[in-house]
Every structure is written in C-alpha cells, then in structure tokens.
Amino acid sequence: MTLLREFRRDIAIAVVAFLVLLAIGFGIDSPWPRDFLTSIFAFGLLAMSLNLLIGYTGLVSFGHAAFFAFGGYVFGLLLQWEGFTSALGGASVPLAFVAALIGTALYSLVIGAICVRLTEIYFAFLTLAFQMFLYSVILSWVSLTGGDQGLMGGIPRPPFLGIDLGDAHHRYAACALVFVVCVLIMRIVTESPFGYTLRMIRDNAQRAAFLGVNVTRVKLICFVVAGSIAGVGGVILALFTSGAYPEWAFWAQSGEAIFMIMLGGLNVFVGPLVGAVALRILNDVVQMYTSHTEIVIGLVILFVVLGLRRGLLDFARDWWVDRQQARLAAANREGEER
Amino acid sequence: MLRLENVVKTFGGVVATDHVSLDFPDGSLSAVIGPNGAGKTTLFNLITGHLVPDSGRILLGDQDIAGMEPARIVRKGVGRAFQVASIFPTMTVEQALMAAVASHVHMSEHLLSAFPPPSVRQRAEELVELLGMGGVARLLCSNISHGDQKLLDIGLALALEPRVLLLDEPTAGMGPEERWQMIRTVRRLWEQGRMTLVFIEHDMDIVFEVSQTISVLRYGAVLAQGTADEIRSNPEVIEAYLGTENYEEQPA
C-alpha cells in the first residue's frame, strides 16, 4: 500500500514508541508508570485532537471535552447493560469500542454542522454551550447516567481473543496500542493534502475559498475527526477508571486540554502531548507540597504565556525555523548578487 | 469569453455598479481603469461571486454565473489575485502553491495520503519556475518581499489553470522599476497561459503600453471601452479622467 510506504518513517516511530511503552509498563514492577501513562494516553488524545482544531485549523473550541465524555459514557453504558454483554459475550468490548467511536463521530457531526459555520468567539461559545448542555443532561438523567455519581459499580469487561481488560497488564497494553494508532492517524491526517488545507484555512480562510476549497466542509471533517479521537480518549479513561464521571463533560476539562496545548505548543505535532505530560507531572509534584495546586499551575501557565509567549516546543520550533529561514534568505541574496 | 450585461449593484443608496455591460473576448488582455471609488474592485467581487448583483447577467461562455458561490465560480475557471496580496503567512511559497494545486485537482479532502502527491509537487515546481521564484521557494510567505508576495498571489490563482484571470492592481505599492518588471511578468504569463486576463491598474503608461482593450469606469458606470488609441482620443474620457491637457501629468 502506498500509504504505508509514504508514512514508513512515522509508522516506524509509532512501532518503536509502542515497544518502549510496553517495556516501561511490563518492565517496571510497579503500577505507577502504567497508571500515569494510561492517563496520559487519555488526556493526550484529548489535547492532541483538540489541537487539530486549534493549532491546525485556527478553530478555538471550548467544548471539546464533550466528545471525550460522550465516548466514555457510551462505552461504559453499553458494557453495563446486561442485555448487551450477555448477547454478545466476548465480542462486547470491541463492539462497545466501535459503537462509542461511531456514536461520538455522529454526535460531533451534528454539533459540528451547527458550529463550524461560525468563527472565532461565536464558535468558541457555541461549542461551550453544547458542552454544558451535555453536562446538564448527564447530571439530570440520573436513571441512565447515575447523575453526579457517574457510572458506578465498575464496567464489566468480558475477555476477547485472549485479552482480558480486567487484567492491569492487558489493559495497559491495549490502551497503549489504541493510543499509538490514534496518534499515527492524526499524524497522517495532518501531513496529508487535507492537513495542508487545514493550514490554508487557519492562515487565510477567504483565500482558501477563492482557491476552490469548500471551507465549511473541510472544517466539519476536521471537527468530526477531532471529536472521534477525543471520544477514544474518553473510552481509554473509562476503561482505566472503570467508570465515567460528569466532570469529564465539565467546561474545566476542555480548559485543561487548552492549558496542555498552550504549555506544550500548538505548532508542533507532539506539542499538546508534551503539554499533557508536563501538566500531569506539575500537578503531581505540586500536590506533594501544597493543596493549592490550581494557583501554582496558574502561575506556571502565566509564565509560559507571558514570558515565553508560546508553548515549550513552539519555542524550540520558532528558533529553528528562524535560523533556517535566515540561511535560505542569505543564500537567495547571494544568488541574486551573482 | 466573459461578458457582463447590465450588471447593477447598490449598497444602501450608493450605486456601486451602474448598468455595467462589458465584453472580454477569449484570450484578450484588458485593463480596467477609473478613479478611486469608481467600482473597479466591486466589479471583480461581482464576477468572482464575492458579491451578488442586484440585477444583470454575468456570462462565462454561455452560462450565467451571477450569484453563484465563489468556490463554484473558481471551479468554472475564474481565478483572482488581490489588491493586498492574499497569501498564507505560515506556509512556505512552495507549500502554498502545492496546496493550491491540490485544491485544483480535487485533493483538498484526501486525509489518507502524503502531502504533496508527486503530480502536485511537479505542477507546483513548474509554477515556481514560471514565476521565477526558485530562490524564495522555501521561504515563508511572510518572509518574502512585497513584490514576491504579489507575484505569489498571482501564482496561487494560476494554480487553478484559470480560463479567466482577474488581477486587482498587480503593481500596487511598488516602485516604478518594480512595476514594469511585474507587468512584464504578467504579460509573459498571459502569453504563455493563453487565458483571458483583466487587470486593474492606475499607472496610465502601463495601461496604454500593454493592454489590448481598456475599460474606463466612473461612478460605477462604464464611460468607455476600446483600444488604447480610442481611449486616448475619447473626449469624454479626456475630460472626465485623464485631464484636458496631458494625461501623463496626472498623478498615477
């Protein structure tokens, strides 16, 4: 397949990353690295998928966590429903995963179709409004969602193909695989003709339209891809916590994802992932010393935004790009003089 | 062929385009001139679908394109460059051209293949060569000179292989020498591309030198359309726009 050949470097990196993740999870005899990394898988997918909208397309969504929560709840609810698990048996986990993915895709298609026609602040606020709507539904539909208690009692995970997600090692390996595959998909999408169309829209949507790009449809496709991958992040978190909680759909969850992007950088593919790791570590370290974690994290973000004026990896990227551009410009001047 | 028939556009009480009828034959090179506020850019906005005319027809071949979506009109072969270069600041010159070509060959929505596809890269390289931008191809659009930005803007339109190319003041903001260089490039692109080219220009020397036909607009209406000689000797034009004594003394 040409796709495999074109992206052989990225695929090789993904395979190596997966093996390293397995080595860490299985080699270290403590649950801590596995738990830490699994939460990174979930929140990393949330932040990276949000960056498809913010960094690549210039659409600042404040309601992205809605899809994260939606994926987690669909997955959890299906597996808690006895009729589903008893009828499907071993196939119920993979099918619940597929259902969560398709469900989140459809949900983001509906929300996206309404939102992507708007720009900037209107887009941001409408996505936020839909997220708070979902949050209210989760809180008030107690008989289905458990309201503010979340999905209690654990999520049953019947084994399939010799994989038992009730087992911590199996679960970790499955989550790592899903995470790596999703990151690889995002990498391909951002380096595809579609990915460069997103950059055109971010830079100058009107010009893109005058070059024949259907801006609304491209934004909608991006919104659905981003929403679906956030949904997968939610599934990972539901598996990990064996539940689903309304806070996942709260606006602060979307805010945290934006923090991760700001911290790590929005113009480098892995920036949001680095941001997710940094924010988690920061959170854990600060918690060892004080219970006022939010104020300390707020100060750090303030420093990054006002001091560096960009995320950590953006800083490195800009430095590199500036140097490369200066070199090319100098070469061009020399060429003209000759 | 591009033909406007009785096109009218008003904004509130202001008549920006007043029963304009103009003909741009296939393969012609025409200039649109007129004082500031004469409705030149509005005319381009109407042709490209950015504005919808109140009445009248805009015929591309024998199809009325008035009021169609801009993206559809683009697909029908009407390309456009802007008065203020409309480009993609964070992309390199080469990337911007490749992305424009990808749009032209309907690959903008291909999610699962590598950018750029070989055919797209090849076409973009041809464009870079055609524009003479080889030296700056890998620079970011925001890092190239004003003249190169204007040229890239035209190049983006050329990526669509337009039948009709509209250039809104290709020499805006340039020094005299740079203007002539730009207009020579435009003429060369027109000769090689064999398209219908219409440009808005303020510099009368340039207009009279390069264009086959000239359309003069005033207060949104067509004052005259004809060859350079016809326009030069048209008494109405002389009185209204060029000045009674010598047009060359008028500020460009």
The alpha carbon of residue B32 is apart from the nearest alpha carbon of chain A, in Å, by 21
What percent of chain A clears pLDDT 90, i.e. is strictly above it? 68
Q: What is the pLDDT of residue B37?
A: 81
B177 or A99: which carries more pLDDT confidence?
Answer: A99
Q: What would the pLDDT profile of B83-133 be if each residue is shown by its tens digit? A: 899 999 999 999 999 999 999 999 999 999 999 999 999 999 999 999 999
Predicted local confidence at residue A88, as pLDDT = 85
Indicate the range of A60-69, A79-88, B116-125, B146-155 predicted with least confidence. Answer: A79-88
Cβ contacts below 8 Å, chain A against chain B, sum to: 127
B242 has pLDDT over 70:
no
A153 burial (CB, 10 Å; 0-12 / 13-18 / 19+) is exposed
Query: Are A276 and A184 members of one domain?
Result: no
DSSP of B155-221: HHHHTT--SEEEEE-TTTT--HHHHHHHHHHHHHHHHHHT-EEEEE---HHHHHHH-SEEEEEETTE
Instruction: Say if residues A207 and B86 touch (Cβ distance below 8 Å).
Output: yes
Last residue of a domain, one of A197, A224, A249: A249
A150 & A201 share domain? yes
Mean pLDDT throughout B10-30? 89
In this complex, the residue of B112, B135, B160 whose CB is nearest that of residue A212 is B160
Provide the residue range defining the domain that includes A47. Answer: 2-249
What is the domain count for chain B?
A: 1
Q: Is residue B240 in some structural domain?
A: yes
CB within 8 Å: B103 and A329: no
CA distance B188 to chain A (A): 21
What pLDDT score does A244 carry? 93
Tell me, yes or no, whether A26 and A123 share the same domain: yes
Q: What is the pLDDT of residue B249?
A: 45
Q: Is A330 on the interface with B (CB under 8 A)?
A: no
Q: Residue B65 falls within a domain, yes or no?
A: yes
**In this structure, what DSSP letter does residue B89 have?**
T
CA gap B232, B252 in Å, rounded: 15
Please tell me whether residues A230 and A274 are part of one structural domain: no
Question: Are B136 and A332 inside 8 Å of each other by CB?
Answer: yes
- A235 and A131 in a common domain: yes
Find the residue in B nearest to A218 (Cα).
Answer: B109
Range of the domain at B197: 2-77+162-249
Last residue of a domain, one of A228, A249, A270: A249
pLDDT for the residue A97: 95
Residue spans of alpha helices (H) in chain B: 40-47, 70-75, 93-104, 118-131, 146-158, 176-193, 204-210, 228-233, 235-237
Q: Is A211 on the interface with B (CB under 8 A)?
A: yes
Q: For residues A120 and A210, state if they share a domain.
A: yes
The residue ranking higher by pLDDT, B21 or A305, is: B21
Query: A228 and A256: one domain?
Result: no
Q: Name the DSSP class of B138.
A: T
**Six-digit token string for A22:** 């397995």
- List all residues of chain A from 253 to 282 with a beta carbon under 8 Å from chain B: 267
Q: Do B74 and A211 touch (CB under 8 A)?
A: yes
Give whole-number Cα distances, A181 to A41, A112, A166, B77, in Å.
Answer: 11, 24, 21, 41
Give the pLDDT of residue B247.
Answer: 46
Interface test with A, best of B111, B128, B142 (most A CBs within 10 A): B111
- A336 and A258 in a single domain? The answer is yes
Tell whether the model's pLDDT for residue A141 goes beyond 50: yes
Task: Tell me the shortest Cα–Cα distance from B226 to chain A, in angstroms.
Answer: 30
Task: Give residue A172's pLDDT.
Answer: 95
Q: Is residue B143 part of a domain?
A: no
pLDDT exceeds cutoff 90 at A321: yes
How far off is chain B from A202, nearest CA to CA, in Å? 9
CB contact under 8 A, B90 and A203: yes
Q: Where is the domain boundary, A232, A249, A266?
A: A249
pLDDT at B173 over 90: no
The CATH number of residue A8's host domain is 1.10.3470
Q: pLDDT of A186-230, one tens digit each?
A: 999 999 999 999 999 999 999 998 898 999 999 999 999 999 999
Based on the fold, state whether residues A67 and A49 are members of the same structural domain: yes
Reported as a pLDDT band with limits 50, 70 and 90, residue A164 is confident
Q: Do B104 and A212 touch (CB under 8 A)?
A: yes
Under the banding of pLDDT at 50, 70 and 90, the label for residue B243 is low
What pTM was computed for the model?
Answer: 0.91
Same domain, A260 and A243: no
Q: CATH number for the domain including B188? A: 3.40.50.300
Contact between A192 and B113 using a beta-carbon 8 Å cutoff: yes
- Judged by CB atoms closer than 8 Å, whether chains meet at B112 and A3 is answered as yes
Instruction: Kindly state whether residue B228 falls inside one of the protein's structural domains.
Output: yes
Confidence of residue B31 (pLDDT cuts 50, 70, 90): very high
pLDDT tens figures, B183-220: 999 999 998 888 999 999 888 888 888 898 999 988 88
Q: How many domains does chain A have?
A: 2
* Same domain? A216 vs A332: no
pLDDT attached to residue B241: 67
User: What span, in angstroms and rounded, lies between the C-alpha atoms of A240 and B144?
Assistant: 51
Residue B11 DSSP one-character state: E
Characterise A152 by phi-psi region: left (phi > 0), alpha (psi -120 to 50), beta (else). Answer: beta
A34-38, A107-111, A307-311, B70-74: least confidently modelled range: A307-311
A230-250 pLDDT, tens digit per residue, is 999 999 999 999 999 999 999
Q: How far apart are CA B235 and CA A255, in angstroms?
A: 68
- The verdict on A21 and A148 lying in the same domain is yes
